[in-house]
Amino acid sequence: MIRKIKVLFITARSDFGGGPRHVEQLIENMPKEVEIYMAYPKGGEPYGKMWDRSSRIKDYCEIPYRQLSLSALWHLRTFLKENHITIVHSHGQGAGIYAKLLKLLTPSICVIHTFHGAASINDSLLKNTIYHFFNRGLSKVVKHYICVSEGERRSAIALRYCTPDNTSVIYNGVEEQYNTINNIVKDNIIRVVSLSRFDYAKHMELAYEIAFALKNNANIQFVWVGDGEDMPRLKKKSEQDGCNIVFTGFSNIPTKYLQTSDIYLSTSRFEGLPYALIEACEASLPIIATDVVGNNEVCVNHENGILFSTKDGGVAAILTLASDELLRKKYAWQSRKRFEDHFTIPQMVQAIFNIYSELNKQ
């Protein structure tokens, strides 16, 4: 009989986001030798509701949304012992705090932590202070750290959150939906698409400045897919300024807009490894992106796109690709190749399963 590897996934979010999406991919694709347990906030849309009825989850323990609760921590400790769980795999900042405290309370468990943005900045000084304290002060209780990009690994080591010896890089993967170069809409419009939350991290204000600078170029249209706190303000500004931006709002299938676009644009301030850019590669789109951690490992400058650091750089990149169809096609082909070489789900899942297997032997 094959010995089951009992793993508890902890995530302090079950709504939309890269971390919950990554956990869902592991749940659905992890080999059957792994018996999956979950700790997550109930009722989150969409992932919380999906996990509530998932047949792959053996059992679950509820924790509050992005909050540390001592009662939830104690309940988790009991949950671990009752189910004889040996490996805890935490995802993101809040989950990492739970996992490290659980290790102090239950020394026999083995903790793996995936950062999903090691250098992420909170809007609260207190939250940042607590986060840094737990990451540095309790770094040694984690057996293995996983970073989703080389840039994130370098940042985490520089911040003394982990060491080179106990940290590996495993790229995010996305589902394969398209197996051909994207179908360009046959008109004279160059569509520049962004799939994004409208918040500080994604810096859609910079995307707006770029769109504003190009508003007199009638053949360039921006398509913004998503929602968030900054969206109503930017939509109102766009209407007042006469910018050529289509605001689609929230979409359950945002990737459908990739197939009818010509260029992907990201203006993020920071990333772990952005799913949206990987999806752009999967859909064979040339990419224009800010030169920040995460972005610059999906978009390789002048290979499958153009990296930039300023508004003028973004504007120039769009004008370059908009005027050169052969260059767009070259970058599109290279984007698809990068996806196939680095960002598939089987590659990601196998790498993480190998870590579970090794730790389960110890």
DSSP letter, residue 67: -
Most confident of 14-18, 65-69, 327-331: 327-331
User: Which pLDDT score is estimated for 343?
Assistant: 97
Query: Are both 160 and 237 inside the same structural domain?
Result: no
Task: Determine whether 3 is exposed, middle or buried from the number of CB atoms within 10 Å of its CB (0-12, 13-18, 19+).
Answer: exposed
Query: Domain span at residue 312?
Result: 190-343
71 & 199 share domain: no
Compute the average pLDDT of residues 268-293.
Answer: 94
**DSSP element (H, E) containing 290:** strand 287-290
Question: How many degrees, rounded to 5, is the angle at CA 131 between CA 128 and CA 134?
Answer: 150
* Number of residues in the chain: 362
Both 105 and 209 in one domain: the answer is no
253 within some domain: yes
Indicate the range of 82-91, 267-276, 346-355 predicted with least confidence: 267-276
Residue 304, pLDDT > 70, answer: yes
CATH number of the domain enclosing 22: 3.40.50.2000
pLDDT of residue 185: 55
As a whole number of angstroms, the distance between CA 220 and CA 235 comes to 17
Band (357; pLDDT cuts 50, 70, 90): very high
Who wins on pLDDT, 10 or 94?
Answer: 10
Total number of domains in the chain:
2
Same domain flag for 36 and 153:
yes
Between 49-58, 110-119, 125-134, 294-303, the lowest mean confidence (pLDDT) is in: 125-134
Bridge partners of residue 174, in order along the sequence: 344
The strand pairing partners of 190, in sequence order, are: 220
- The proportion of the chain whose per-residue pLDDT surpasses 90, expressed as a percent, equals 78
**Does residue 185 lie in a domain region?**
no
| 202 and 292 in a common domain | yes
Q: Which residues contact 123 (CB under 8 A, 6 or more apart)?
A: 200
pLDDT at 85 (0 to 100) = 97
Instruction: Identify the pLDDT of residue 117.
Output: 76
Predicted TM-score (pTM) of this structure: 0.87
Which of the four pLDDT bands, split at 50, 70 and 90, describes residue 120?
low
Q: Looking at the structure, do residues 231 and 351 belong to the same domain, yes or no?
A: no
Q: Do 48 and 160 lie in a common domain?
A: yes
- The confidence score (pLDDT) of residue 128 equals 75
The single-letter code of the amino acid at 286 is P
Say if residue 50 is exposed, middle or buried (CB neighbours under 10 Å; 0-12, 13-18, 19+).
Answer: middle
Q: What are the strands of the beta sheet with 220-225, ordered from one edge?
A: 245-249, 220-225, 190-195, 263-266, 287-290, 305-308
Asked if pLDDT for residue 7 goes beyond 90, the answer is: yes
Cβ neighbors of 184 (< 8 A, separation 6 or more) are 262
For residues 125 and 222, membership in a common domain is answered with no
For 12-39, how does the pLDDT look when each residue is reduced to its tens digit (9 = 90+)?
999 988 889 999 999 999 999 999 999 9
Cis peptide before 46 (omega within 30 of 0): yes
Q: Are 215 and 243 in contact (CB under 8 A)?
A: yes
pLDDT in tens, 158-217: 999 999 999 999 999 999 886 555 555 567 899 999 999 899 989 999 999 999 999 999
Outline where 138-251 has alpha helix (H).
150-158, 204-213, 231-241
- Has residue 179 been placed in a domain? no
142: CB partners within 8 A, 6+ apart = 99, 100, 103, 111, 112, 113, 162, 166
Give mean pLDDT, residues 269-291: 94
**Is 282 within the bounds of a domain?**
yes
Assigned domain for 224 exists: yes
> 238 and 124, same structural domain?
no
Do residue 162 and residue 216 come from a single domain?
no
The string of pLDDT tens digits covering residues 242-274 is: 999 999 998 888 888 999 999 999 999 988 889
> Residue 209's pLDDT is what?
98
The answer as to whether 9 is a domain residue is yes
Give the position of tokens 């050529």: 244
Distance of CA 346 to the CA centre of its chain: 17
Q: Which residue has the tokens 């992890």?
A: 30
Higher pLDDT, 245 or 67: 245
The number of C-alpha atoms within 13 Å of 232 and in the hemisphere containing its C-beta is: 1
The whole-angstrom separation of Cα 263 and Cα 265 is: 7
Burial 308-346 (b: 16+ CB within 10 A, else e): beebebbbbbbeebbeeeeebeebbebbbebbeebbbbe
The 3-state secondary structure of 205-226, one letter per residue:
HHHHHHHHHCCCCCCEEEEEEC
Are 249 and 167 within one domain?
no
Same domain, 162 and 28: yes
Q: How far apart are CA 224 and CA 248, in angstroms?
A: 6
Q: What is the pLDDT of residue 182?
A: 52
Kind and range of the H or E element at 49? helix 47-52
Beta-strand relationship, 220-225 and 144-147: unpaired
Considering the chain, what is the average pLDDT of its residues? 93
pLDDT computed for residue 3 by the predictor = 78
Residue 330, pLDDT above cutoff 60:
yes
Indicate whether 178 belongs to any domain: no
> Cα separation of 213 and 309, whole Å?
16
Maximum Cα–Cα distance for the chain, whole Å?
68
Smallest CA-to-CA distance from 189 within 243, 265, 263 is with: 263
